[in-house]
Amino acid sequence: MNLILAMLIILIIAALMVVFSSRLLLAAISLAATSIMLTLLMFKLNSPIAAVFELSICAGLITVIFITTISFVKPVAQEDLIETRNKRIKKYAALPIILIIVGVVISYVIKPLVLALPAIVQEKNVANVLWNLRQVDLLGQAIILLVGVFGIVVLFKEGQKK
């Protein structure tokens, strides 16, 4: 329980690092750190397959996509960086206060609550659930995959013509 609590706190700290880092590259790497902590939590909660997906795709592929995007856009000059850093501290100063207040309030509110969730399907094999029970989801996923591929092709086709 204590280990899970420590992991959750590190997860929140990594997410806060994404918000507070003034450099985009650092923010993207902090997001990868958030993904890695989420992966460890998933392993702890008996879901190794989803954890592997999270580690390879969210911590790997998405970080690569973000770093590529950041390398395409214009880097900030050093003088601007100091100015934007001061502005950022002002802009996000309210966030830790909000988080502490909300966290304390929720943890007090949730203690006396009686939580009950129904168990729906008791199938023990992940592949069975994915391929037999969630076929509609897979269909939707395939359509979104196609839309994504077409979207990327159309977006970058314009650039080639010029």
Interface with other proteins, residue 82, by CB under 8 A: no
| 92 touches 19 (CB < 8 A) | yes
| 88 touches 20 (CB < 8 A) | yes
Nearer to other proteins, 78 or 98 (CB): 98
Interface with other proteins, residue 93, by CB under 8 A: no
Interface with other proteins, residue 13, by CB under 8 A: no
Interface with other proteins, residue 16, by CB under 8 A: yes
User: Within 45-64, which residues bind other proteins (CB under 8 A)?
Assistant: 45-47, 49-50, 53-54, 57-58, 61-62
Interface with other proteins, residue 72, by CB under 8 A: yes
95: nearest Cα among 8, 30, 15, 26: 15
Place of tokens 């690092």: 17
For residue 83, give both structure tokens: 């100015």
Interface with other proteins, residue 10, by CB under 8 A: no
For residue 63, give both structure tokens: 């970080």
Of 78, 79, 121, 161, the one binding other proteins (CB under 8 A) is: 121
Interface with other proteins, residue 31, by CB under 8 A: yes
Interface with other proteins, residue 95, by CB under 8 A: yes
Interface with other proteins, residue 107, by CB under 8 A: yes
Nearer to other proteins, 63 or 78 (CB): 63
Convert residues 127-156 into a mask of x (bound to other proteins by CB under 8 A) and - (unbound).
Answer: -xxx--xx--xx--x--xx-xx--xx--xx
CA-angle at 112, arms to 107 and 116, nearest 5°:
100
Distances (CA, A) of 2 to 57, 76, 104: 28, 41, 18
In this structure, the number of other CB atoms found within 10 A of the CB of residue 54 comes to 20
- Cα(106)–Cα(104) distance, rounded to whole angstroms? 6
Interface with other proteins, residue 75, by CB under 8 A: no
